[in-house]
Amino acid sequence: MLHLSARSHLGGASNPLTLALAAHRAAGRPVWDLTASNPTTVGLAWPAEALAAALAAPENTTYQPAPRGLASARAAVGAADGVDPERVVLTASTSEGYSLLFKVLCDPGDDVLALTPGYPLFAHLAAFEGVGLRTCPLAWDGAWHLDRAAIRAAIGPRTRSILLVNPNNPTGHYLRPAELELLAELGLPLVVDEVFCRYVHDGPAFSARARLDLPLVVLDGLSKRVGLPQAKAGWLVVGGPPALADPLIERLEGVADAFLSIATPVQHGLATLLADAPGVGQAIQARTAAHLAHLRTVMAGSPVQVHRVEGGWYAIATLPQIMDDEAWALTLLAAGVLVQPGYFYDFSQRNGVVLSLLTPPHVWGEGVARLRQHVEALVA
């Protein structure tokens, strides 16, 4: 008899928005997709020749297994991020980075703490490792911030780490240096995902890499940094005093040695890809900044309120409370506009929707205009 693990079960039927979108597209109706966030399909893709050249090193014909990643590749990360290469562990993605960390920090039945609204994949990544996920809401008083007392209260006897995204996905707010210090005092290692950290809008921007003296691990990778999710390269930078960092690195190396997942060509090409990152990042920064400014201009004086965006690729729009976020998403889809309802990210207030600032410009302009028109028509 076939037995399937409970931890690999991702849920039941598709949500109503997914089903409605499939029906909408099957009927051949147009969709102005304001959720597009794949950097390779929104008009920002790398030239094929440049990418091929970066991955064409003659050394690729030789396999030299290195659990933490080739020394040259770790040196490339160290030079780009201003960190000690000996503190770097390469992975095939940040998701794999989380998987390694959960294996090393947690035993089955332990848990980790994440903040909400937040990254929806955390629950699945933790479950796949037999690890529970606790959550704690971010505080909101017109701006997002951490509530240390609430976080302390949310920590359980088997909580082994606190997960942070900086800037948060999707609220777009950065950690503050004082918040990071206060969290470190709680006595748990901090896992700080900084894939969006370089895309600054309202700021102030802050990177946990500035505090590698604290017990934390910073995650980053090529997916957002260089707009190359298909290159499959991420990394961990382990902070903290040697007495804490060295055993963690040793355990990570041991687990990574069982998988050796990051491909040789991308390791040899990492220095070139990171050297070209500023140009790619500038294109992403320019688009997301222009889209955010346009969104604010279009929604000025309308029933749609746009939240402050300190950094990242996303914007949150609060809609009138005549229906909840799922109903708003469904009715907007009927008008041809696709948004993500806030409950996808565990928003407690159910009248917010999430928009991707990476959306192609021609789709963005029409979609945002239709969003305002449809909301105004319903509240008139």
CB neighbour list of residue 362: distance below 8 Å, 6 or more residues apart: none
Residue 277 parent element (H or E) = helix 277-299
pLDDT along the chain (380 residues), means of 10: 91 88 96 96 87 93 96 97 98 98 97 96 96 96 91 98 98 96 96 97 97 98 94 97 98 97 96 86 95 98 96 97 97 97 93 97 97 95
Task: Provide the pairing of β-strand 111-116 with 216-221.
Answer: unpaired
**Residue for token pair 């396999």:** 63
Helices and strands (H and E) in the chain: how many: 13, 15
C-alpha to C-alpha distance for 193 and 65, rounded to whole angstroms = 26
Task: Provide the pairing of β-strand 144-145 with 139-140.
Answer: antiparallel
DSSP string, 80-129: HHTS-GGGEEEES-HHHHHHHHHHHH--TT-EEEEEES--TTHHHHHHHT
CA angle 253, 255, 257 (to 5 degrees): 65
pLDDT at 10: 83
Residue 354 parent element (H or E) = strand 352-356
C-alpha to C-alpha distance for 379 and 157, rounded to whole angstroms = 48
Domains of the chain and CATH, by start: 15-37+278-375 (3.90.1150.10), 63-275 (3.40.640.10)
User: Residue 234: beta bridge partners?
Assistant: 91, 221
Exposure string of 19-38, with b = 16+ CB inside 10 Å and e = fewer, is ebbeebeeeeeeebbbbbbe
pLDDT at 239: 98
- Tokens at residue 113, please? 């703490």
